[in-house]
Amino acid sequence: MSEQEPKPNIRDYQSFSSLSTFVGCGMQYYYRYVEGIKTPPSVAIIEGSAGHKGQEKNFVQKVETHIDLPVDVVLDVVSDTFEQRSADVETWETPKGSAKDEIIKLMRFVHTNHNPKIQPVECEAEHIIEIPNPESGVPVKMKSYIDLVDTTQTIRDSKFTKKAKSQGDADNDMQLTIYSYVKSLPKVAFDCFIKGDKPRVATIPSVRGIRQWNWLERAVPKYIKAIESGVFMPCDPAHWRCSERFCGYWLRCPHGGANTNKVTIDQAPANLLAPETEISDLL
C-alpha cells in the first residue's frame, strides 16, 4: 500500500511516542504505526533502556520497602539489559564495550548519589485514559507508562543524555504535559542523568495546569483527525531528523534516501554549501 493509500486501520490507542513521531514527521508515523515497521535501536537508545530497567528494579520495590537495593543488584540489571538489547543494534557509533562502561558508570553514580533522595509512591505504572474528541465524538485513548511519582506528588521522567535539558524543554515538553494530564498532578520534572567522564544529575522542575491541559485537549483531536485523514506529511528536509543518520526509514522513504534528488548536507558538493544556499536549492 502506498503512502497515498494508507491503511484505514489506525491503531486504537495513542501514546506520547506515537504522537511525537507524527508531529515530527508524518512519514515516520506512517512507517512505524500504520505499516508496523520497527527500526534497529541506536546505541543511545539501548543505554537509556538499560538505565531505565535499573531504575525500575530499584524503585518498584522501594515503593513498599523505602530502602534502595544494593548497587550491584541494580548494575547487574543494567548490564543484562544492555547485553540483551545490544543484539538488535546494527550500527555501533560508539564501541560496544565503551557504551556499556559509560552506562554502568553513570548508573553507579545515579544510584549512589540521586536515588537515596527519592521516595516513590508509584513506578512504571500503566495508565490508560480517554481524551475528549469533539472532532469525531469518539474519545482518544492514550496509554502511558510514567517513570515515577514521588512523595511530593511530583511526576519524574528520567532522561539518559549527554547534556541537561533546558528549562524551556521542561516547560514545553509534550510528554510531561501528557503525564500531568493523566495524573491530574501539576508538578513535573526531568531527571537528566548525564553521561561522560564525570557523570552528573540535573533535575529540571516545571509545572502544568489548566492552560497546558486545555492545549492538550485541543491539540490531540487535531492530530488524530490528521492521522485519520491518511495524509502523512514528510518533515522539513533541512531538519536533522531527515537524514540517513537519524531516520531509520531513510532508504525506503521517497522523501529521503529513496529520493534520488535529495542531497544531504554531508553529501552535497562544497560549491552547494555556500552560506547563502537554501535547502530548497539542493532538491
Single residue of 148, 158, 249, 282 touching ligand SF4 by CB under 6 A: 249
- Residue 21 sits in the site that holds ligand SF4 (CB under 6 A): no
Single residue of 162, 241, 245, 281 touching ligand SF4 by CB under 6 A: 241
Taking CB under 6 A as the binding criterion, the range among 116-124, 178-186, 250-258, 271-279 that sits at the site for ligand SF4 is 250-258
Q: Return the C-alpha cell found at 3.
A: 503512502
- Residue 235 sits in the site that holds ligand SF4 (CB under 6 A): yes
Query: Half-sphere exposure of residue 147, counting CA atoms within 13 Å on the CB side?
Result: 23
Q: Please give the Cα distance from 276 to 268 (Å, whole number).
A: 14
Taking CB under 6 A as the binding criterion, the range among 14-22, 33-41, 65-73, 249-257 that sits at the site for ligand SF4 is 249-257
CB 58 → ligand SF4: shortest distance, Å? 36
Type of residue numbered 223: Y
Q: How far apart are the first and last CA of the chain?
A: 26
Comparison of 103 and 247: residue with beta carbon closer to ligand SF4: 247
DSSP 143: E
Comparison of 188 and 253: residue with beta carbon closer to ligand SF4: 253
Are 281 and 272 in contact by the 8 Å Cβ rule? The answer is yes
127, 196, 128: which is closest to 162 by C-alpha?
196
- Residue 75 sits in the site that holds ligand SF4 (CB under 6 A): no
DSSP 260: T
Are 267 and 243 in contact by the 8 Å Cβ rule? The answer is no
- Residue 227 sits in the site that holds ligand SF4 (CB under 6 A): no
Q: Please give the Cα distance from 242 to 54 (Å, whole number).
A: 32
- Residue 164 sits in the site that holds ligand SF4 (CB under 6 A): no
Q: Return the C-alpha cell found at 65.
A: 520497602
- Residue 264 sits in the site that holds ligand SF4 (CB under 6 A): no
Residue with cell 486501520: 9
Taking CB under 6 A as the binding criterion, the range among 44-52, 151-159, 251-259, 267-275 that sits at the site for ligand SF4 is 251-259
CB 60 → ligand SF4: shortest distance, Å? 36
- Residue 6 sits in the site that holds ligand SF4 (CB under 6 A): no
Query: Distance from CA of residue 250 to its chain's centroid?
Result: 19
Q: Please give the Cα distance from 253 to 31 (Å, whole number).
A: 9
- Residue 256 sits in the site that holds ligand SF4 (CB under 6 A): yes
Using CB under 6 A as the criterion, what x/- string covers residues 42-61 for binding ligand SF4?
--------------------
- Residue 282 sits in the site that holds ligand SF4 (CB under 6 A): no
**C-beta nearest to ligand SF4: residue:** 256
164, 170, 53, 157: which is closest to 107 by C-alpha?
53
Q: Return the C-alpha cell found at 66.
A: 523505602
Give contact residues for ligand SF4 (rule: CB under 6 A): 25, 27-28, 234-235, 241-242, 247, 249-250, 253, 255-256
